[in-house]
C-alpha cells in the first residue's frame, strides 16, 4: 500500500458558514462571478488557474514547498473550501483520497470532480502498484487540462471561448516539454539512473532512461518502512561502482536511508537531481518541469 498524500484528522469539524475558495490554503470570500476551484496540491492548482485565468478562484490545499505531502493535515478551512467548490481536482490513485471523504462530509455532491489518475487511463501492471505521480507524465497533464476546460465551460458557458484559448495556450507549452523530453531521449536513451522514490519515473521513462534502483528499496521508502540491509547495500553499490549517471532525489521525504544514498552519490561524484511533489517557490508548473528537464540534461551531460 502506497503512503497517502495527506493525513485527515480523525474527526472532521463542521463546515464554517459563508467561507469559500481563494488562491491560498486559507479559504476567503471568492470574487463575485468566479468559479470556485479546489485542488489537492498546488501542482494541480496551478494548472487549474492556468486554464481558468481571471475567471476562477483556486484553493490549493497543499501550497508550501516545505511541506511533507505525506504528513500534511487537512483543516476545517480546507473543508469549508471544498463545501463551496464548483470544481474539485484531485490526483487520485490513493495519493490524496482524503478529498473524497471531505467532499462527502461537506455534502457537496454538485461539484465536478476531476481525478487525474482516472483521466490518465493508466493501470498498474500485474503484481505491481500504480505509480500515482502522474503530474510528471505530460500526456496525462494535457488530458487534465482538457477536462478542466470542459468543466469550466459547463460552469460558465459564457466564458467557454476564454477557457478554450487558455487551455490551448497551456497545452502548447506542455508540447514544448514533450519535445524537450524527446531531445534528451535522442541523446541519452538507455543511460542508467537511480531514484529514491518513483516520483519522477514518468519523466525519466519518457527520456528513455533505465532505473537501476532495486524495486525493494524505492517501495520501502515510499511506504515509510525500513529498507532491508541487503537491499540497502546493493543500492549503495550503484554509486560506489559508478553504475548510474544520476540520482533523482525526492527532497520532501528524505530520511536516514535516502540520505545515505545522497551522500554516496556526492562522494562518488554522481550528479544529484532534486525532485519535489509540490511546486518550488516562485515557479509555475511549466517553469518547474522545464527546470527538471534541464537538470536531467545537465547531469547526463557531465
Report the chain's mean pLDDT, rounded to a whole number: 88
The domain defined by 189-300 folds into Rossmann fold (3.40.50)
DSSP summary character for residue 191: -
Low-confidence ranges of the chain (pLDDT < 50): 1-30
Phi, psi of 106 (to 5 degrees): -75, -10
- Can you read off the three cell numbers belonging to residue 270? 554522481
User: Do 6-177 and 189-300 have matching folds?
Assistant: yes
Q: Which pLDDT value is given to residue 33?
A: 87
Sorted by where each begins, the domain ranges of the chain are: 6-177, 189-300
Q: Which pLDDT value is given to residue 12?
A: 35
What pLDDT, in 10s, does the model give residues 63-106? 877 766 666 666 788 889 999 999 999 999 999 988 888 888 88
**Residue written as grid cell 561524484:** 269
Q: Which CATH architecture has domain 6-177?
A: 3-Layer(aba) Sandwich (3.40)
Q: Which pLDDT value is given to residue 71?
A: 65
Q: Which pLDDT value is given to residue 99?
A: 87
Backbone torsion region of residue 282, taken as left when φ is above 0, otherwise alpha when ψ lies between -120 and 50, otherwise beta = left
CA 97 to CA 285: how far, in whole Å? 22
Q: Which pLDDT value is given to residue 32?
A: 64
Residue 246, C-beta contacts closer than 8 angstroms, at least 6 positions apart: 193, 194, 270, 271, 272, 273, 296, 299, 300
Amino acid at each position: 500500500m502506497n503512503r497517502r498524500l495527506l493525513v485527515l484528522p480523525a474527526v472532521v469539524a463542521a463546515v464554517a458558514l459563508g467561507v469559500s475558495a481563494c488562491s491560498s490554503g486559507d479559504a476567503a470570500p471568492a470574487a463575485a462571478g468566479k468559479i470556485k476551484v479546489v485542488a489537492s496540491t498546488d501542482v494541480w492548482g496551478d494548472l487549474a488557474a492556468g486554464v481558468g485565468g481571471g475567471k476562477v478562484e483556486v484553493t490549493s490545499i497543499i501550497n508550501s514547498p516545505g511541506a511533507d505531502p505525506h504528513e500534511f493535515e487537512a483543516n476545517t478551512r480546507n473543508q469549508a473550501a471544498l463545501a463551496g467548490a464548483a470544481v474539485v481536482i484531485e490526483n487520485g490513485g490513493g495519493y490524496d483520497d482524503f478529498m473524497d471523504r471531505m467532499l462527502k462530509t461537506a455534502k457537496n455532491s454538485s461539484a465536478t470532480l476531476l481525478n487525474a489518475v482516472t483521466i490518465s487511463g493508466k493501470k498498474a501492471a500485474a503484481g505491481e502498484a500504480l505509480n500515482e505521480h502522474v503530474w510528471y507524465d505530460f500526456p496525462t497533464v494535457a488530458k487534465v487540462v482538457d477536462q478542466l476546460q470542459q468543466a469550466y465551460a459547463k460552469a460558465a458557458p459564457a466564458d467557454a471561448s476564454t477557457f478554450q484559448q487558455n487551455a490551448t495556450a497551456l497545452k502548447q507549452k506542455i508540447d514544448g516539454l514533450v519535445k524537450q523530453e524527446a531531445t534528451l531521449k535522442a541523446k541519452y536513451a538507455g543511460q542508467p539512473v537511480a531514484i529514491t522514490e518513483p516520483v519522477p519515473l514518468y519523466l525519466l521513462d519518457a527520456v528513455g532512461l533505465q532505473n537501476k534502483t532495486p524495486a525493494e528499496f524505492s517501495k520501502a521508502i515510499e511506504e515509510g518502512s525500513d529498507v532491508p540491509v541487503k537491499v540497502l547495500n546493493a543500492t549503495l553499490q550503484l554509486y560506489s561502482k559508478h553504475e548510474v549517471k544520476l540520482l533523482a532525489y525526492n527532497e520532501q521525504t528524505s530520511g536516514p536511508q535516502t540520505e545515505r544514498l545522497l551522500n554516496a552519490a556526492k562522494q562518488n561524484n554522481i550528479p544529484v537531481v532534486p525532485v519535489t511533489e509540490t511546486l518550488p517557490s516562485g515557479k509555475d508548473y511549466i517553469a518547474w518541469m522545464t527546470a527538471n528537464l534541464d537538470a536531467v540534461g545537465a547531469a547526463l551531460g557531465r
